[in-house]
Amino acid sequence: MAAFFVVITLTVVGMMIALAIDRHLSGLSLIGLGFLYGSGAVYVVMLALSVVGVRWSILNVTAVLLLISGVRFFSLGLGPRASGLAGKVTMSPVDIVTCVVLAAYVWYATRIAAWHWDFWAIWGLKARVFFEARGIDWHFLGSRWNAFAHPDYPLLLPLNDAYIALANGEWSDRWIGIQSAAFALALLLIVREEAARETTPRKAAAITLATTAFALSPQIGLADGPLIAFGGAALLLIRRGDDAAFRHAAILLGLAAATKNEGMTLCVAVVIALIVARTPLRKIAQLWPALILAAPWLILRAAHHLPTDLAAPGMLGRLTARVAALPQLGEMMLETLSNPILWSLVAISLVIVPFRILRTEKFVLVTTLVQLLFFMLAYLVTPLDAAWHVASSFGRISTQLGAPVVFVIMTMLARTASS
Amino acid sequence: MLAFISIALVAAGSVFFRPVPAHRLDEAWGDYPEFLAAIRTTTHNGDTIALLVPARRGSNDYSYAYFRASYFLAGREVLPVIDDNGRIIAGNVRDAQFVAAWHGRLASERPLLWRAHGGELHDR
C-alpha cells in the first residue's frame, strides 16, 4: 500500500507548489493540481539526482521534494495575488453517480497487479530497472536488446513508479493501480470545478460524469492515464484563458510532454490551435514553462543516442509509399476507435450545436484535430506494419483527448439548451 | 438536452462494460513466472542471463517470454538466444554468465545449477 501513501505525500507536496504558483488556489482544483504537480516534482527531482550521479533513496528524494515545495510555499510573496480559481463548488446528486463510477474504477484498477503487456515491456519494466539501479540505467536504455522497451519514451511515469518502490522498500506492482486512479481523480476534480464555473451544479456534475468515460483510463499502469490527466487539465485551463490558468496549463503541458511523446506533439498542437484561435503571441509565449519541463529529457535522450523508432532511416520513403493508403488507414482508425457509441454521440452533437456556439470552442476542437493529424502522420512513417500499429495502439491513444472534447461538447449542448 | 443526457449516461455506462482484468497470459504460460522467480533468487543485479524459450522470435509468444523475463529479472541483463532469422546468437550464449532454458535443453558444457518449474539454469 506504499502507493497510497505516496499519492497522499505527492498531493501535499504538489499543493504547496500549486499554492506557491497561485496563492489563492483552493477547492477541488487545489487537490487535483496538487497531485499532478507532486508527480511532476518527483520526476524532476529524481531525474536531476540521477543526472548528477546521486543514488536515489526514499530519504534523499523526499528531502529534496520537501525542500523545494517548502521553499516555494514559504516564499508566497513570489506568487501573484490575484487568481481566477475561486474554488467554490455546489455539489449535486449527480455527483453521487460520479462517485459510484469512480469507486467501480478504483476496484477495476486495483483488483489485481498491473496486467498490461506494455506495463511489463515498457513503463513498469523501466521503473523496476531504475529502482534496482537506484537511478536511470543508461546502459539498459542504450542496449540494442532492449529496443522493445522504447528507450526514447519520456520518464515521468517510470520515475514515479520507482519512487513508490523506494517508499515500499522493494518492487511491487500489486497496488500500482492506486496511482492510475489518483491521476483520474485529479482530472475529474479539475473538470468538476471548471464545469461549475460555467453552468448549474446539476449540469456541471453531469459534464463531469460524462468525462469519466475517458478520464478513467482502462490502461492501468501505462502512461496514457497520466497523459490524459495532464493534457486534459491543461486544455481546459488554457480554454479558460486567464493568466493564472495559463500558468498552470503551461506546467501541465510540460508534464504531459515529460510523460509521453504524444504529450510533446500536444504542445505543438496547442500552439497551432492558439494561433488559429487568434490568441495574441504574448499570451502564447506564457506557455514557456512547458518547454523548460520538456527540454531535459529531449537533451538527455539526444546525448545518449536513444533511438526513436518512428524516425528510423527511410522515414520519407515510408511516408510517400503510404500516402495513397490514407483512406484505408483512416478506415482502420475508425474501426479501432475506443468507445465508438460515445464518439458517435459527440459527432452528432457537433451537428446539433449552432455554429456561433461551436466557434467559441475552436481551441479544444482544433487542438484535437491537429493531434489526430500527428497520430496519422505517425502511422504513415512507422517502420512497423501500419495496419498492426493502428490496431494495437489507436484504440488506446484515441482516448487521450476524449475528456476535454466531451467537456466542450457537453458545455455547448448545455448552452444550446439554455438559449 | 437529449444529447446532453445521452452522452452522460453512455459515458458513465461504458466504464461498467469494460472486461474484468485478468492475468491471462501468465495463466497460459503455466509455471513460467515461477521459473523466472527462481532465476531471480539464484542470480544478482548486474548478472547477464541468456534466455532460451520454445517460441519463434518475432512471435507474440516469444515477445511475451522475453518481455516477462526482462521484467521479472530487472537489474540483470537478459539476452536473447535466437535472432530474427531463427539462428542462435552465439555471442550472447558465450558471453552470458548464466543460460536459462524453459521447456528446452541447451547443448552446452556449462554446469547445470538447477532444474525446476519446467526449465533449467546453467552457470558459466
C-alpha A288/C-alpha A281 separation (Å) is 12
* Length of chain A, in residues: 419
Neighboring chain B residues of A140 at a CB cutoff of 8 Å:
77
Beta-carbon contacts of B9 under 8 Å, excluding residues fewer than 6 positions away, are none
The confidence score (pLDDT) of residue A82 equals 47
The string of DSSP codes covering A243-261 is HHHHHHHHHHHHHHHTT-H
Would the pTM count as exceeding 0.90? yes
C-alpha A323/C-alpha A329 separation (Å) is 9
Min Cα distance A358 → chain B (Å) is: 15
Q: Do B4 and A341 touch (CB under 8 A)?
A: no
Question: ipTM, 2 decimals?
Answer: 0.93
The confidence score (pLDDT) of residue B82 equals 84
Q: Which of residues 59-78 of B touch A (CB under 8 A)?
A: 63-64, 66-68, 70-71, 74-75, 77-78
Neighboring chain A residues of B1 at a CB cutoff of 8 Å:
413, 417
Residue B50: what are its φ and ψ, rounded to 5°? -85, 135
Beta sheet of B98-102, edge-to-edge order: B77-80, B48-52, B98-102, B119-122, B112-116
Residue A92 burial by CB count (10 A; 0-12/13-18/19+): exposed, middle or buried? Answer: buried
Min Cα distance A25 → chain B (Å) is: 28
Q: Which residue has the higher pLDDT, A240 or B83?
A: A240
The confidence score (pLDDT) of residue A87 equals 56
β-strands B98-102, B48-52 pairing: parallel
Q: Work out the number of other CB atoms within 10 angstroms of the CB of residue A342.
A: 21
The confidence score (pLDDT) of residue A85 equals 46
Cα atoms found within 13 Å of the Cα of residue A122, Cβ hemisphere only: 20
Q: Do B7 and A339 touch (CB under 8 A)?
A: no
Average pLDDT, chain B: 89
- Mean per-residue pLDDT pooled into runs of 10, chain A (419 residues): 94 94 90 98 98 98 93 63 59 95 96 93 98 97 94 98 97 95 98 96 97 96 98 98 95 98 98 97 97 98 93 92 93 94 95 95 97 96 94 94 96 91
Neighboring chain A residues of B14 at a CB cutoff of 8 Å:
213, 339, 341-342
Interface mutation vs chain A, best among B9, B14, B45, B47, most A CBs within 10 Å = B14
Chain B residue whose CA is closest to A211: B11
The confidence score (pLDDT) of residue B26 equals 84
Q: Which three cell numbers stand for residue A155?
A: 520518464
Interface mutation vs chain A, best among B1, B2, B15, B20, most A CBs within 10 Å = B15
Read off the pLDDT of each residue in B12-39 and give the average, rounded to a whole number. 89
Using CB atoms, which residue from A108, A121, A203 is nearest to B18?
A108
Residue B82: what are its φ and ψ, rounded to 5°? -110, 135
The confidence score (pLDDT) of residue A349 equals 95
Chain B residue whose CA is closest to A202: B5
The confidence score (pLDDT) of residue A84 equals 45
* Rounded alpha-carbon distances, angstroms, from residue A122 to A54, A109, A419: 24, 18, 49
Residues A263 and A298 sit within 8 Å (Cβ to Cβ): no
Min Cα distance A115 → chain B (Å) is: 6
Beta-carbon contacts of A1 under 8 Å, excluding residues fewer than 6 positions away, are A175, A178
CA angle A166/A172/A174 to nearest 5° reads 135
Using CB atoms, which residue from B11, B22, B63 is nearest to A209?
B11
Interface mutation vs chain A, best among B7, B17, B60, most A CBs within 10 Å = B7
Tell whether A272 lies on the interface with B, counting CB pairs under 8 A: no
Min Cα distance A206 → chain B (Å) is: 6
Using CB atoms, which residue from B1, B20, B78 is nearest to A417?
B1
Chain A and chain B share a number of CB contacts under 8 A equal to 115
Q: Which of residues 370-389 of A touch B (CB under 8 A)?
A: none
- Contacts of residues A235-239 at CB distance under 8 Å and 24 or more positions apart, as own/partner, are A235/A270, A235/A363, A235/A364, A235/A367, A235/A401, A235/A404, A236/A190, A236/A191, A236/A194, A236/A404, A236/A407, A237/A190, A237/A194, A238/A270, A238/A274, A238/A363, A239/A361, A239/A363, A239/A364, A239/A404, A239/A408
Using CB atoms, which residue from A145, A203, A342 is nearest to B79?
A145
The confidence score (pLDDT) of residue A336 equals 95
For A192-218, b/e burial (b = at least 16 CB within 10 A) is bbbbbeebebebbbbbbbbbbbbbbbb
